[in-house]
């Protein structure tokens, strides 16, 4: 006869196994097995002396034709941004006196001159910059090269977007991949088709990719909360799954810089009261930018290794979806910026800088080169502003070129 204690232990073991199976199925359903190990093994950040400079970068998968809507609906979407974004952003300032910066990653396949003209006007008035977004499927290298090169020239010549590299004359651009599928990273091979996409982007002038994090998509990488160089394997997909961290005193390596936003677990907002939600730096109506989320982004502390006092917070949205515009252009956005300016801009513990994607890259490269002090001096460190963007005088110089910065400029704290 089986003893009661044995029966109890068997019941407990069965319950434990059932709970474990439920947890594993929940993890798999959200593709968390890809990155959860990296999250659990995360390292403590080194101590920081002096103020922490916060580079806050808001990137937008900006798709006026989302949902295959008609032209009038597209116009209403773009017109609302053209009208309401300055009204919101003009009420806020960072430590350098700049309003929030919005980087519009515009999809090549949705190009309409009238939409870009309105975004270009926002940029000319000092509210952001335009970069490249692309949805494609079953693509070929030749078609990809032709598509990106043509769009680069069009954005630059017609709309004053994109920088020319002062050393080579090549147009340079930041990139976000549609459907998250950078370098053919979906298991079924859809929404890309190119195993050598990182190489192609480098050759075409891409300075960095801003797609990630993509969780809960299967395209999410094992590497999280990092700024790193990825080396392409042209014979296999998802070469950016791992890479070499950008570090002070290091050099560019591999094929493409990957700039990731915060990714982690939110135990305060649990699914069905049990499973933590994924914090993936996505801002929309269903996940507004609350002070608690802002604090979590800051705590993630993404930085160039060896420069922990400069942290980069890259968040993202899909800005043209009607259900989200009140969040992005109304009271929740005001509350987010007010919290940033109140909690992370006292000049002693924190200094806040609103930056575009290009400026983020420039400041990363300045950190890599060993420069320190006020990062605002390096907004234009390697790549100058696009011709159509508002010119902004940095605290140290009107247009910081790489050679001047390397020669050393007095710090302007």
Query: Is there a domain that residue 413 lies in?
Result: no
What pTM did the predictor assign?
Answer: 0.90
* Placement of tokens 């350098």 in the chain: 96
Is residue 141 domain-resident? yes
pLDDT score, position 275: 76
CB 86 within 8 Å of CB 127 = yes
Mean pLDDT in residue range 48-58: 94
Domain membership of residue 412 (yes or no) is no
Domain that holds residue 123: 36-407
| Count of structural domains, the chain | 2
Residue 13 clears pLDDT 90, i.e. is over it: no
> What pLDDT, on a 0 to 100 scale, did the predictor assign at position 401?
37
Q: What is the pLDDT of residues 365-408, one digit of tens each?
A: 999 999 999 999 999 999 999 999 887 765 543 333 333 333 33
Residue 270: pLDDT band (50, 70, 90) is: low
Mean pLDDT of the chain: 90
Closest CA to 81 of 119, 126, 133: 119
Please report, for the domain that includes residue 237, its CATH number. Answer: 3.20.20.370
Quick one: pLDDT at residue 14? 53
Residue 2: per-residue pLDDT? 62
pLDDT at 404: 38
One domain for residues 110 and 11: no
| pLDDT at 407 (0 to 100) | 37
Mean pLDDT across the stretch 277-297? 97
Q: Are 38 and 224 in contact (CB under 8 A)?
A: yes
In a domain, 138, yes or no: yes
Dump the DSSP string for 248-317. TT----SSEEEEPPP-EEEEEEEETTTEEEEE--B-BTTB---HHHHHHHHHH----BT-TTEEEEEEEE
pLDDT tens across 297-344, in order? 999 999 999 999 999 999 999 999 999 999 999 999 999 999 999 999
Could you tell me if 18 and 73 lie in one domain? no
16 with 41, same domain: the answer is no
Regarding whether 17 and 156 lie in a shared domain, the answer is no
Q: Are 44 and 18 found together in one domain?
A: no
What confidence tens digit (pLDDT) does each residue in 72-111 have?
999 999 999 999 999 999 999 999 999 999 999 999 999 9
- Let me know whether 176 and 291 are in one domain: yes
Residue of 92, 86, 26, 66 lying closest to 339 (CA atoms):
92
Q: Determine the pLDDT at residue 246.
A: 98
Contact 161, 356 (CB under 8 A): no
272 and 141 part of one domain: yes
Average pLDDT over residues 172-201: 97
Structure tokens at 395: 């605290």
In this structure, is residue 373 part of a structural domain?
Answer: yes
Residues 21 and 147 in one domain: no
User: Considering Cα of 355, then 356, then 357, then 360, what sign does the dihedral take?
Assistant: negative
Per-residue confidence (pLDDT) for residue 46, from 0 to 100:
75
In a domain, 198, yes or no: yes
Q: Could you read off the pLDDT of 209-226 as tens digits, one per residue?
A: 999 999 999 999 999 999
Per-residue pLDDT band at 50 (split at 50, 70, 90): confident
- Higher local confidence (pLDDT), 111 or 271: 111
């Amino acid at each position: 006869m089986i003893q009661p204690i044995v029966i109890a232990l068997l019941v407990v073991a069965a319950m434990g196994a059932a709970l474990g199976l439920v947890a594993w199925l929940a993890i798999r359903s959200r593709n968390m097995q890809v990155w959860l190990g990296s999250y659990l093994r995360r390292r403590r950040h080194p101590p920081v002396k002096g103020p922490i400079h916060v580079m806050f970068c808001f990137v937008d998968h900006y798709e006026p034709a989302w949902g295959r809507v008609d032209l009038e609906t597209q116009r209403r979407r773009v017109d609302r941004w053209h009208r309401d974004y300055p009204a919101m952003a003009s009420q806020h300032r960072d430590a350098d006196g700049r309003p929030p910066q919005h980087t519009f990653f515009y999809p090549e396949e949705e190009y309409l001159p009238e939409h870009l003209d309105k975004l270009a006007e926002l940029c000319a008035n000092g509210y952001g910059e335009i970069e490249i977004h692309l949805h494609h499927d079953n693509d070929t290298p030749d078609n990809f090269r032709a598509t990106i090169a043509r769009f680069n020239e069009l954005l630059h010549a017609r709309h004053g977007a994109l920088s020319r590299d002062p050393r080579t004359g090549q147009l340079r651009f930041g990139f976000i991949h549609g459907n998250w599928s950078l370098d053919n990273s979906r298991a079924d091979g859809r929404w890309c088709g190119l195993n050598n996409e990182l190489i192609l982007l480098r050759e075409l002038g891409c300075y960095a990719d801003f797609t990630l994090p993509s969780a809960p998509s299967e395209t999410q990488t094992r590497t999280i909360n990092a700024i790193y160089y990825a080396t392409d394997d042209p014979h296999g997909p998802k070469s950016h799954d791992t890479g070499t961290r950008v570090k002070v005193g290091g050099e560019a390596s591999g094929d493409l810089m990957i700039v990731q936003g915060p990714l982690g677990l939110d135990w305060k907002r649990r699914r069905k009261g049990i499973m933590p939600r994924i914090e993936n730096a996505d801002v929309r109506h269903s996940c507004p930018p609350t002070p608690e989320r802002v604090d979590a982004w800051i705590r993630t502390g993404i930085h160039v290794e060896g420069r922990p006092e400069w942290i980069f917070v890259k968040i993202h949205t899909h800005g043209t979806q009607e259900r989200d515009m009140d969040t992005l252009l109304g009271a929740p956005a005001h509350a987010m910026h007010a919290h940033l300016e109140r909690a992370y801009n006292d000049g002693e513990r924190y200094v806040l800088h609103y930056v575009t994607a290009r400026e983020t890259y420039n400041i990363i490269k300045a950190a890599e080169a060993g420069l320190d002090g006020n990062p605002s001096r390096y907004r234009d460190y390697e790549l100058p502003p696009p011709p159509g963007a508002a010119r902004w005088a940095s605290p140290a110089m009107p247009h910081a070129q790489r050679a001047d910065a390397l020669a050393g400029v007095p710090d302007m704290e």
